[in-house]
């Protein structure tokens, strides 16, 4: 089994219900074991700013599903929650990204791992550091990437 890290986010509809539903779908998949879930974080949108803030969470899983099939399952979760891809970085009911996958890296535009912008985004790094503070990405600890970020608007929610 391989360990993987997923980033989940929602800023349309009932955000907490959307994220919770996505988590339930991960739990129900017999080929995926959820190991850790970060706290929920409210985060400012990136790119297209004229939208609601996001609710984000990072999940550590162990899985028998190979990386491309894991991506397909993540997209099925998005589809189940009626995600529409209308504007790049625009509002969405659900976004599920494969951030990291143990012993796997890829430059494929369909699935790039590590996720190409994860080290620039507090909404990924802060919850990821919460559940895995010693994790290294490309030979650097998460805290090193966080120290390079400008003031990010992110707050932990209950």
pLDDT reported for residue 86: 63
Q: In 10-83, which residue ranges form alpha helices assigned H by DSSP?
A: 15-28, 67-80
- d(C-alpha 81, C-alpha 140), whole Å: 34
Select which of 79, 92, 117, 141 is catalytic. 92
Say if CB 61 and CB 6 are below 8 A apart: yes
- d(C-alpha 91, C-alpha 83), whole Å: 9
- pLDDT tens digits along 37-87: 999 999 988 766 677 899 999 999 999 999 999 999 999 999 888 867 666
> Is 83 a residue of the active site?
yes
Select which of 14, 52, 79, 83 is catalytic. 83
What's the sign of the alpha-carbon dihedral 58, 63, 67, 68? Answer: negative
Domains and CATH numbers, the chain: 2-157 (3.30.70.560)
pLDDT reported for residue 48: 65
Q: pTM to 2 decimals?
A: 0.93
pLDDT reported for residue 46: 77
Say if CB 92 and CB 83 are below 8 A apart: yes
> Is 92 a residue of the active site?
yes
Task: Output the CA–CA distances (angstroms, integers) from residue 20 to 55, 88, 90, 138, 149, in the order listed.
Answer: 11, 24, 21, 30, 28
Q: Which two tokens stand for residue 96?
A: 């599920």
- Compare 23 and 92 and report the one with higher pLDDT: 23
Select which of 97, 108, 141, 151 is catalytic. 97
Select which of 85, 95, 108, 151 is catalytic. 95
Q: CB neighbours of 62 closer than 8 A, spacing ≥ 6?
A: 1, 2, 3, 4, 32, 33, 35
């Amino acid at each position: 089994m391989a360990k993987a890290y997923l980033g989940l986010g929602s800023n349309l509809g009932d955000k907490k219900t959307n994220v919770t539903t996505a988590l339930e779908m991960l739990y129900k998949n017999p080929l995926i074991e959820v190991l850790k879930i970060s706290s929920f974080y409210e985060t400012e949108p990136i790119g297209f700013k004229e939208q609601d803030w996001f609710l984000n969470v990072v999940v550590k899983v162990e899985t028998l599903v190979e990386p491309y099939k894991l991506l397909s399952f993540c997209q099925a979760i998005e589809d189940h929650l009626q995600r529409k891809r209308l504007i790049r970085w625009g509002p969405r009911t659900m976004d599920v990204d494969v951030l990291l996958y143990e012993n796997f890296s890829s430059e494929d535009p369909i699935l790039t791992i590590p996720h190409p912008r994860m080290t620039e985004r507090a909404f990924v790094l802060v919850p990821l550091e919460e559940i895995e503070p010693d994790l290294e990405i490309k030979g650097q600890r998460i805290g090193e990437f966080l120290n390079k970020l400008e003031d990010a608007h992110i707050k932990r929610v209950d």
